[in-house]
Amino acid sequence: MATTSQKNQGLKPAVGNRHLHIMLLTIILSFCSTFAAAEAIQRSGAQLEAEKLLGTMNMSRTMDQLVTNMIGLQIQQNPDMAPYRSVLLDFFGKHMNFESLQDDLIRIYVEAYSEEELKEINTFYASNVGQKTIRLMPELIAKRSQVGQQRVQDNIWELEQMIQEESERILETQHEHEQK
């Protein structure tokens, strides 16, 4: 319901509220960007080194390649998923992209390495061998995953047998307890 002052001004409540919402949103966003800038300035040396490392590793491209390779491998293992390739790429592109994970990745590296260690890692990855490692990493990880999955598939009969034996043991134990 419009207030008297709104009626006198000829404003509809929704219009006045929309202007207020826009103004509040602008203020909130300006505060958020100010805090984000202050947080970036206050990063520790280790955080800055971790951020540098992620840049040196071209983590954005690397993560995109890893996601694409892993989806390809999953579709190879389960061809019924092939029609959903674009859905999978969209979903993982949204939730597993570098930008959405960057702060978490920095935290992980800072928790695992000291500032000095991160500097040494940065030096390595800046070298020719380090750059080659970065370039080959997604492919090597995909191949490693493929070898692991193939090993499991080749020996799945053993897992099935172990599960069957454990199921029989569990049923036997349950039967014994029921008879007591």
Note the pLDDT tens digit of each residue in 39-86.
444 678 999 999 999 998 888 888 888 888 888 888 888 899 899 999
Report, in this order, helix, strand and coil percent for the chain, each rounded to 5: 90, 0, 10
**Of the residues 27, 42, 57, the one at which a domain ends:** 42
Q: Same domain for 21 and 73? A: no
Distance of CA 168 to the CA centre of its chain: 40
Q: Same domain for 71 and 30? A: no
- What's residue 50's pLDDT? 93
Q: Same domain for 138 and 110? A: yes
Which tokens hold the place of 76? 């190879």
Q: Same domain for 36 and 102? A: no
Q: Same domain for 6 and 72? A: no
Q: Same domain for 79 and 126? A: yes
Number of domains in the chain: 2
Which tokens hold the place of 150? 């193939």
Mean pLDDT throughout 3-15?
45
Place of tokens 């859905």: 87
In a domain, 159, yes or no: no
- Inform me whether the pLDDT recorded for 174 exceeds 90: yes
In a domain, 35, yes or no: yes
How many residues are given for the chain?
180
In the DSSP assignment, the letter for residue 95 is: H
In a domain, 178, yes or no: no
Short-list 81, 58, 59, CA closest to 71: 81
The residue range of the domain holding 128 is 45-142
Mean pLDDT throughout 127-142?
89
- What's residue 2's pLDDT? 46
- Inform me whether the pLDDT recorded for 24 exceeds 60: no
Q: Same domain for 134 and 67? A: yes
In a domain, 58, yes or no: yes
Q: Same domain for 36 and 77? A: no
In a domain, 87, yes or no: yes
Q: Same domain for 87 and 8? A: no
